[in-house]
Amino acid sequence: MQTYMILIVYLKLVSYVISQCAQNAQGTTGNCLCMQGYYGINAEIGSSCIQCPSGTNTTEPSNSTNGNTNALTNISVCNQCSLNFYMNAAASTSQPIASAQCTACPTGSGTQIPSKTPTDISFCSICVPNYYMTVAAFNPIPGVKAFPAICIPCPANSSSPLQTQTGALVNCNCYDVNALPFSATQTTCTCLNGYYGNVSSVEGGPSGCTRCPPGMFSVGGIPCQKCPSGSQILSDLSGCSCYDNSTGVNPWSFYTNTCQCRAGYYGDPSKAVSGTTDSCSPCPNGYTSIAGIALQQSDCYLSGTTFRAVTRFYVVIFVSILILL
């Protein structure tokens, strides 16, 4: 047991001695180099590798002349910008010695490659993931200043890959596989028609949208509903259409979810089947009706009888309130 422990300590010591490079260096004793983004005159133990200023980087680690690890090395080897920064001024190798001057691209925009030479803000020509591009970057011309790509964040619960070209909201994708795709009119993530629930808020997570039972519709993830009698479900599962669509029938609407006659007609289109027409007949001359109330001709009332009309109107309101409650 003891010899075993000693062996482990010994092996650890050996590996420690073999890889004796300074912090932020790579390699093994005698062959240590500062890591990319760091510089130093020596990268062996006892020496140190200094981090380049924020937004700057070195080229690949090297101990050649002008490399990031050699006797003459100084901050001027921090001569390229980090990704998504653009270069205002190059590094200076003579006094006053300086690193490159790099500025972060505006939020959402970025660079395709790290800047190695002085550029301007138009080098910020891409949109980083989860942003889409509305306006491309503009290279300056006399009298017109450069500007970066204009990048807009994807809506909540959606993402996009890095964008190199102008696009639109459609470049973003909802996390939920059962969400409606974005369009000019669909600007938030909601469940597909015919699915109910709340879209997933986790990329790659399980869908929060569940398919409605057959024959039921849903829009925007609301609870599934049955189509009223006298109607059939639309093929896109977003609602219903009354079998009878002849004059006098109020077209199906999401808000009423019924098949009934318009004002001034009587009849019962909820009894219609495929092919039925003329479920609703106009009230006789001088008579009228309130939408959906008159099932028989006798339910029509004299147009002039405002008292009865008003009473019926308030009865309808009262009943509607009862139903809503």
Q: Which is nearer to ligand NAG, 22 or 293 (CB)?
A: 22
Q: Which is nearer to ligand NAG, 240 or 290 (CB)?
A: 240
Q: Which is nearer to ligand NAG, 159 or 245 (CB)?
A: 245
What is the Cα–Cα distance from 29 to 45, expressed in whole angstroms? Answer: 8
Q: Interface with ligand NAG includes 279 (CB under 6 A)?
A: no
Q: Interface with ligand NAG includes 33 (CB under 6 A)?
A: yes
Smallest distance, Å, CB 101 to ligand NAG?
15
The residue behind tokens 């200076």 is 92
Q: Interface with ligand NAG includes 66 (CB under 6 A)?
A: yes
- List the one residue from 19, 20, 24, 36 that touches ligand NAG (CB under 6 A): 36
Q: Which residue is nearest to ligand NAG (CB)?
A: 82
Which of the 8 DSSP states describes residue 59?
A: S
Do 30 and 21 form a contact (C-beta atoms < 8 A)?
A: no
Q: Interface with ligand NAG includes 208 (CB under 6 A)?
A: yes
Q: Which is nearer to ligand NAG, 30 or 142 (CB)?
A: 30
Scanning 33-41, 128-136, 141-149, 296-304 for contacts with ligand NAG by CB under 6 A, the matching segment is 33-41
Identify residues 104-163 at the interface with ligand NAG (CB under 6 A).
Answer: 156-157
- Picking from 219, 183, 178, 181, the residue whose alpha carbon sits closest to that of residue 200 is 178
Scanning 7-15, 71-79, 127-135, 300-308 for contacts with ligand NAG by CB under 6 A, the matching segment is 71-79
Do 44 and 30 form a contact (C-beta atoms < 8 A)?
A: yes
Q: Report residue 26 CA to chain centroid gap.
A: 40
Alpha helices (H) along 2-63: 2-18
Scanning 65-73, 263-271, 286-294, 304-312 for contacts with ligand NAG by CB under 6 A, the matching segment is 65-73
Q: Is 321 helix (H, G, I), strand (E, B) or coil?
A: helix
Q: Which is nearer to ligand NAG, 252 or 287 (CB)?
A: 252
Q: What are phi and psi of 169, to 5 degrees?
A: -50, -30
Smallest distance, Å, CB 40 to ligand NAG?
12
Q: Which two tokens stand for residue 317?
A: 């309101």
Q: Interface with ligand NAG includes 76 (CB under 6 A)?
A: yes
DSSP secondary structure letters along 197-252: E---SSTTPPP-EEEPPTTEE-STBPPPEEPPTTEEE-TTSS-EEES--STTEEPP
Q: Which is nearer to ligand NAG, 272 or 300 (CB)?
A: 272
Q: Indicate the length of the chain as a whole number.
A: 325
Do 195 and 210 form a contact (C-beta atoms < 8 A)?
A: yes
Q: Is 15 helix (H, G, I), strand (E, B) or coil?
A: helix
Scanning 120-128, 192-200, 280-288, 317-325 for contacts with ligand NAG by CB under 6 A, the matching segment is 192-200
Q: Which is nearer to ligand NAG, 36 or 229 (CB)?
A: 36
Residue 159 β-bridge partners: 173
Q: Interface with ligand NAG includes 82 (CB under 6 A)?
A: yes
What count of other Cβ atoms lies within 10 Å of the Cβ of residue 90? 17
Smallest distance, Å, CB 82 to ligand NAG?
3
Identify residues 211-270 at the interface with ligand NAG (CB under 6 A).
Answer: 245
DSSP secondary structure letters along 90-116: --BSSSSPB--EEEEPPTTEE-SS---
- List the one residue from 20, 93, 173, 238 that touches ligand NAG (CB under 6 A): 93
Residues forming contacts to ligand NAG in the complex (CB under 6 A) are 27, 31-33, 36-37, 57, 63, 66, 72-74, 76-77, 82, 93, 97, 156-157, 188-189, 197-199, 201, 208, 245
